[in-house]
Amino acid sequence: MEMKRQITVYNTLPEGLDALKISSGTVHHSKQKAAAVDYLGEKYTPKFTPQAYVSKKDWRPLNEDEIACLTPPENRDYLNTIYLGVIPDELRECFETLQLDESLHRRDMFFRLEKDPEAVKKATALMNDFLLPMSNNEPFHYHCMGVNNPNLELVAANTVMLPQDHVASDRVLIGLHNDGLQEMTIETAHSFENRISINLGKDSRYFLFVNLYLTEAYKMLKECMSPDEFELVNISNIPKYFFKYFPDYPVIRVEQKPYQYYIAATFNCFHDGSTLGSTHLDVTMVYFGKFQY
């Protein structure tokens, strides 16, 4: 299935197009064997929710038509374009001082932050300096430090109901998804913020996405579903229906090397992160805003 010209990519990575790959679509998680995780003595095969879909693994370089489809318009903005780049050298050096890439687990990562408050203060100021020019004169805010085990095909999991002392193998992965808030609908997802996610780990990680707005996915479903079934589609379950009916819609994968970032409106597209192939702890920093440049 050919990609539609919807969400595009503004790529300032030194690797250029070599950072991007494309797969032929998605498959229900039960139809594709997940990679095993073996980290710090914990060995397990990740579990998925019953409705989870994952990308096929037939990654290849993009062809000319696909590159053209993802080339951003002159009026690119925080919704219609995903931005890829590298953080400034001074900010990188500050993070290197904190040695977050040497963290073994979540507690270790926070311990490294807590033991050097001056470096954290400097990093915060440098982050604000970095983000302000691309903030659209809109407020932005720190969201979280993300930590994931290595060699995970996908990383997103709902941890709200898990005990604080849970282990990684307790997490149930949700598959390719759209982020959501309680007050959000498919029709209003475009009005929410985007995010910048910076790789602060030692290994490459990956950002996977489908280049469709949720409203376009919804429109495509309406054209092929019965009225009764279409009535069931909402902001929470639209990934399940979309990947069931359109398993051949391509998925794009972006390689994020250490200290590289992506900016994407993750409330308004299907996506996930991946640490497949890595051997060290995955560490990311996330801010929300309306970033573009």
Mean pLDDT of 214-230: 98
pLDDT tens-digit series, residues 1-39: 999 999 999 999 999 999 999 999 999 999 999 999 999
| Per-domain boundaries in the chain | 8-289
**Residue carrying structure tokens 């950072």:** 19
Decide: helix, strand or coil at residue 277.
Answer: coil
Decide: helix, strand or coil at residue 82.
Answer: strand
pLDDT at 163 over 90: no
What's the pLDDT band for 138 if we cut at 50, 70, 90?
very high
Mean pLDDT of 142-153: 97
Q: At what angle do helices 89-98 and 117-131 cross, to 10 degrees?
A: 150
pLDDT of residue 162: 82
4 phi-psi bin (left φ>0, alpha ψ -120 to 50, beta other): beta
pLDDT at 181 over 80: no
Q: Which of 155-164, 241-250, 280-289 has the lowest mean pLDDT?
A: 155-164
pLDDT of residue 167: 87
Mean pLDDT of 79-99: 98
Q: What is the CA radius of gyration of the chain?
A: 19
pLDDT of residue 159: 80
- By the 8 A CB rule, do 42 and 56 touch? no
pLDDT at 183 over 90: no
What are the C-alpha distances in Å from 149 to residues 22, 106, 159?
24, 10, 14
What torsion do the CA atoms of 24, 29, 30, 31 make, to the nearest 10 degrees?
A: 10
**Which are the contacts of 37, defined by CB distance < 8 A and separation ≥ 6?**
43, 44, 45, 46, 149, 150, 151, 152, 168, 169
Task: Calculate ∠ Cα 194-195-200, nearest 5°.
Answer: 170
Q: pTM for the whole thing?
A: 0.96
- By the 8 A CB rule, do 272 and 177 touch? yes
- By the 8 A CB rule, do 215 and 178 touch? no
The token pair that represents 244 in the structure block: 């069931």
What are the C-alpha distances in Å from 151 to residues 15, 18, 253?
22, 21, 15
pLDDT tens-digit series, residues 29-50: 999 999 999 999 999 999 999 9
What's the pLDDT band for 179 if we cut at 50, 70, 90?
very high
Mean predicted lDDT score pLDDT of the chain: 96
- By the 8 A CB rule, do 285 and 200 touch? yes
Q: At what angle do helices 214-222 and 238-245 cross, to 10 degrees?
A: 60
pLDDT of residue 130: 98
Q: Which of 55-64, 174-183, 280-289 has the lowest mean pLDDT?
A: 174-183
